[in-house]
């Protein structure tokens, strides 16, 4: 049996495993190994990503998807893949007017902006090929979307219980999945539902008429497919990771907990996501298996990194601060032991100090770094307050973090625009802090909205631009040397944090 997965620019086909069901790639031309998809496939999965923003569903692909539907074969659209199957999606979250992208109209719903990044339980309210016999039961998974408000006439299938929406506490039950009238096409926003709920996989196999031997063959084909997907960095980039993967060698690195580093900053919009993505992509290009995590709940920030390195979004991908996020730091570190990562890159949230004086602990990136002895690379953007202000911010942040016992091992002046001023600022930093690694990254000229997160992010453009920038202006080998094995030592008390500022 052959189950296709759409493999086009902007898709994240390795973001989750889809129950280890996919066996064949469906390329932009709608073909599977030179044959039209509808003629050889028994079902199709359309993954998440930025497929709608990237406009990467070609006419040929669209025709094949429609033919697969007409023949009664199953289709699962996940997140952005769901939006492909819908009528239209308004992607203008920060636009004064809607920016609507047309879908295929197979599922009679439309999407508009609503952010959700929760781990969720979803109630199943109707039958479909996927949910046969499951009305009234629940499925688990996670949300990771920017355009998640669903409106339309398609029969509802899933309702997710969420804690937060659009960055605000708003416990509620929201529509998160629908079906078509025949029940062979399902769209859902619940990532990981096929991996976490085996009954959904079994229902899919039953719909196919697959027996035990068929499933074993599907799983074997899936293993081969994953190897093919993971060999390429991104999609259709012609950039491949070497085989076998390199290993980071150091006497201080444990075999079970990989060396780790954090990319933090002096404020929001500093370029953390852009630089983290470029670092992860270049590490992968050198052959390293890299885990990527986010402090706090906004896991959307690490999707570009996962687009490049083809790793799963894991239950430990979001480090909890206060009540925000998925998993406590100590548990996250224990989870590292179950993976064979060569290195972990953690992206901070906002400024390293944002939330530091909150009575709840931990509530900041700085506290996470301190609690696990994670070395930090600090980033400061020069486009708002100027290069001079960015340099002063870096120096003052580094000074206080060092006073807290945090290892700041690298500084990045990001979005610099004047070489002479930058040289003076770099000299100032060298005099103020004892840090060898001071990098300067120029302001990248952005000619398309597709390079700006949360406006209209085209993953392929954003990711390749970040890889090229990091490769040119940072030193990956020095960054590798910064990473150290983490060890949880406990959080600073609120009182000791206050003493830091006296």
- Residues 266 and 170 grouped into a single domain: no
User: Is the Cβ–Cβ distance between 113 and 92 less than 8 Å?
Assistant: yes
The tally of CA atoms less than 13 A away on the side-chain side of residue 456 is: 18
Answer yes or no: is 248 within a domain.
Answer: no
Residues 6 or more apart whose CB falls under 8 angstroms from that of 242 comprise 286, 287
Q: What is the pLDDT of residue 308?
A: 98
How far CA 442 is from CA of 263, 383, 452, 469, in Å, comes to 18, 10, 16, 9
Residue 476 burial (C-beta neighbours within 10 Å; 0-12, 13-18, 19+): middle
Mean pLDDT of 14-23: 98
- Residues 297 and 366 grouped into a single domain: yes
When the pLDDT of each residue in the chain is averaged and rounded to a whole number, the result is: 94
Answer yes or no: is 295 within a domain.
Answer: yes
Q: Hunting for tokens 């819908």 — which residue is that?
A: 86
The tally of CA atoms less than 13 A away on the side-chain side of residue 27 is: 10
Answer yes or no: is 437 within a domain.
Answer: yes
Of 350-364, 388-402, 439-453, the poorest mean pLDDT is in: 439-453
- Residues 135 and 223 grouped into a single domain: yes
Answer yes or no: is 413 within a domain.
Answer: yes
The pLDDT of residue 264 is above 70? yes
Print the domain residue range for 166: 3-231
Instruction: At 267, give phi and psi (nearest 5°).
Output: 175, 170
pTM over 0.85: yes
The pLDDT of residue 409 is above 50? yes
pLDDT level of residue 275 (50, 70, 90 thresholds): very high
- Residues 355 and 493 grouped into a single domain: yes
Q: What is the pLDDT of residues 201-223, one digit of tens each?
A: 999 999 999 999 999 999 999 99
pLDDT level of residue 452 (50, 70, 90 thresholds): very low
- Residues 143 and 106 grouped into a single domain: yes
- Residues 273 and 158 grouped into a single domain: no
- Residues 442 and 378 grouped into a single domain: yes
pLDDT level of residue 94 (50, 70, 90 thresholds): confident
For the CA atoms of 484, 487, 493, 498, what is the dihedral angle to 10 degrees?
-10
The pLDDT of residue 346 is above 80? yes
What is the rounded distance in angstroms from the CA atom of residue 375 to the CA atom of residue 384? 27
CATH code, domain with 22: 3.40.50.880
The pLDDT of residue 283 is above 50? yes
Mean pLDDT of 353-365: 96
Helix (H, G, I), strand (E, B), or coil: what is residue 201?
helix
pLDDT level of residue 251 (50, 70, 90 thresholds): very low
Kindly provide the b/e burial profile for residues 144-178, where b requires at least 16 CB atoms within 10 angstroms of the residue's own CB: bbbbbbbeeebebbbbbebbbbeeeeeeeebbbbb
- Among the listed residues 155, 329, 226, the one whose alpha carbon sits nearest the alpha carbon of residue 5: 226
What is the rounded distance in angstroms from the CA atom of residue 227 to the CA atom of residue 437? 36
Q: What Rg do the C-alpha atoms of the chain give, in angstroms?
A: 23
Q: What is the pLDDT of residue 372?
A: 98
Number of Cβ within a 10 Å radius of residue 484:
18
Mean pLDDT of 426-455: 78
User: Is the Cβ–Cβ distance between 379 and 441 less than 8 Å?
Assistant: no
Number of domains the chain contains: 2
The pLDDT of residue 447 is above 80? no
- Residues 216 and 342 grouped into a single domain: no
CATH code, domain with 481: 3.40.50.300
pLDDT level of residue 246 (50, 70, 90 thresholds): low
- Residues 96 and 45 grouped into a single domain: yes
The pLDDT of residue 245 is above 70? no
Q: What is the pLDDT of residue 85?
A: 99
Mean pLDDT of 31-58: 96
The pLDDT of residue 448 is above 70? no
How far does Cα 336 stand from its chain's mean position?
A: 18
């Amino acid at each position: 049996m052959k189950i296709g997965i759409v493999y086009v620019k902007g898709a994240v086909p390795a973001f989750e495993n889809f129950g280890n069901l996919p066996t064949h790639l469906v390329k932009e031309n709608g073909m599977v190994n030179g044959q039209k998809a509808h003629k050889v496939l028994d079902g199709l999965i359309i993954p998440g990503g930025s497929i709608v923003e990237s406009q990467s569903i070609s006419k040929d692909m669209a025709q094949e998807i429609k033919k697969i539907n007409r023949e009664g074969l199953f289709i699962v659209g996940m997140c952005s893949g769901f939006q492909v199957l819908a009528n239209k999606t308004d992607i203008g979250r920060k636009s004064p007017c809607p920016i609507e992208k047309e879908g295929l109209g197979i599922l009679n719903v439309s999407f508009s902006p609503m952010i959700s990044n929760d781990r969720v339980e979803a109630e199943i309210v109707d039958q479909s090929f996927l949910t046969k016999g499951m009305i009234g039961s629940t499925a688990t998974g996670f949300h990771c979307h920017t355009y998640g408000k669903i409106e339309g006439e398609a029969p509802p299938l899933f309702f997710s219980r969420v804690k937060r929406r659009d960055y605000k506490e708003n416990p509620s039950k929201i529509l998160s999945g629908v079906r078509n009238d025949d029940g062979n096409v399902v769209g859902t926003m619940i990532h990981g539902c096929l991996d976490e709920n085996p009954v959904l996989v079994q229902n899919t196999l039953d719909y196919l008429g697959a027996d035990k031997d068929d499933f074993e063959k599907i799983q074997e084909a899936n293993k081969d497919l994953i190897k093919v997907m993971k060999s390429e960095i991104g999609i259709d980039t012609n950039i491949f990771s070497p085989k076998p993967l390199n290993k980071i060698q150091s006497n201080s690195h444990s075999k079970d907990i990989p060396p780790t580093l954090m990319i933090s900053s002096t404020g929001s919009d500093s370029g953390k996501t852009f630089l983290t993505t470029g670092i992860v992509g270049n590490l992968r290009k050198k052959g390293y298996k890299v885990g990527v995590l986010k402090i706090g709940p906004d896991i959307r920030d690490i999707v570009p990194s996962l687009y490049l390195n083809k790793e799963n979004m894991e239950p430990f991908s979001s480090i909890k601060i206060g009540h925000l996020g998925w998993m406590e730091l100590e548990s996250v570190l224990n989870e590292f032991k179950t993976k064979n990562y060569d290195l972990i890159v953690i992206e901070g949230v906002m400024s390293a100090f944002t939330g530091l004086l909150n009575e709840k602990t931990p509530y900041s990136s700085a506290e996470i770094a301190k609690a696990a002895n994670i070395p930090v690379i600090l980033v400061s953007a020069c486009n708002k307050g100027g290069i001079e202000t960015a340099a002063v911010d870096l120096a003052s942040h580094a000074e206080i973090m060092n006073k807290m016992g945090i290892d700041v091992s690298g500084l990045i002046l990001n979005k610099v625009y004047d070489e002479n001023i930058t040289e003076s600022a770099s000299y100032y930093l060298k005099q103020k802090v004892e840090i060898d690694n001071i990098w300067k990254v120029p302001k990248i000229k952005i000619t398309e909205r597709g390079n700006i997160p949360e406006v209209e992010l085209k993953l392929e453009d954003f990711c390749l631009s970040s890889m090229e920038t990091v490769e040119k202006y940072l030193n990956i080998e020095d960054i590798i040397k910064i990473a150290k094995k983490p060890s949880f030592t406990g959080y600073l008390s609120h009182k000791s944090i206050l003493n830091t500022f006296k």
